[in-house]
Amino acid sequence: MNTALRTSLILCFAIYFFANLMSCTDGRFKQGKVLYEYHCASCHMEDGTGLAELYPPVNGSDYLMNNREKLPYIMRYGIEGPLTVNGLEFDIPMSGIPELSAVEISNITNYILSAWTNKLGTMSFEEVMESLNSNPAGINN
């Protein structure tokens, strides 16, 4: 009986330990997550899957994978379609969010790049500034 009790106690501690560990990795881009959910999730959804052929996904999106560097720019200045994402064509204009600071954009960017199934690395603040100051080809606004 004692052994059983001891085993379950150890098990409990193990679960507790791993749960804590998980929550640590979860919180890596905490501000980015909060801002994403406030500014982006209405259309792109909390799980980044978008909506049908109305709003493109940002989770597992080939467009994002191939145009990583445009992401901060699109957040600030918006984008007009048509835009092909994962073989579907999207044509609803997205307006930019001018009230976001460069730091906030950087946090949202890094959240999106690593959230859900995305494994698109990270973007340094310099890279974010470069994007914001660029005029990426293929973006008309």
Partner 1 sequence: MKKLSILFVLFSLTLLSCQDSNLPDKLPFIGQHQYIDGDTILYKIPSFDLINQDEESINNNSFKDHIYISDFFFTSCPSICPKVKKQMLRVYDKYENEDIIKMVSHTLDPKRDNAEILKLYSSNLGVDTKKWMFLTGDKDELRELALKYFVAVVEDEEAPGGLDHSGKIVVVDKNGHVRAFAEGTDPDDVTELMKEIDILINEYSSED
Binding site for partner 1 (CB under 8 A): 1, 41-43, 45, 51-55, 92, 95
Let me know: does 100 contact 39? Beta carbons within 8 Å.
yes
Q: How near is the Cβ of 121 to partner 1 at its closest, in Å?
A: 28
Nearer to partner 1, 80 or 103 (CB): 80
Packing angle of the helix pair 30-39, 102-114 (nearest 10 deg):
100
* Cα gap 32→39, rounded to integer Å: 10
Q: How near is the Cβ of 49 to partner 1 at its closest, in Å?
A: 8
Q: How near is the Cβ of 94 to partner 1 at its closest, in Å?
A: 9
* Cα gap 46→38, rounded to integer Å: 10
Nearer to partner 1, 26 or 53 (CB): 53
Nearer to partner 1, 80 or 124 (CB): 80
Q: How near is the Cβ of 34 to partner 1 at its closest, in Å?
A: 17
Nearer to partner 1, 10 or 51 (CB): 51
Nearer to partner 1, 94 or 123 (CB): 94
* Cα gap 140→3, rounded to integer Å: 68
Q: How near is the Cβ of 73 to partner 1 at its closest, in Å?
A: 19
Packing angle of the helix pair 125-132, 102-114 (nearest 10 deg):
110
* Cα gap 123→84, rounded to integer Å: 23
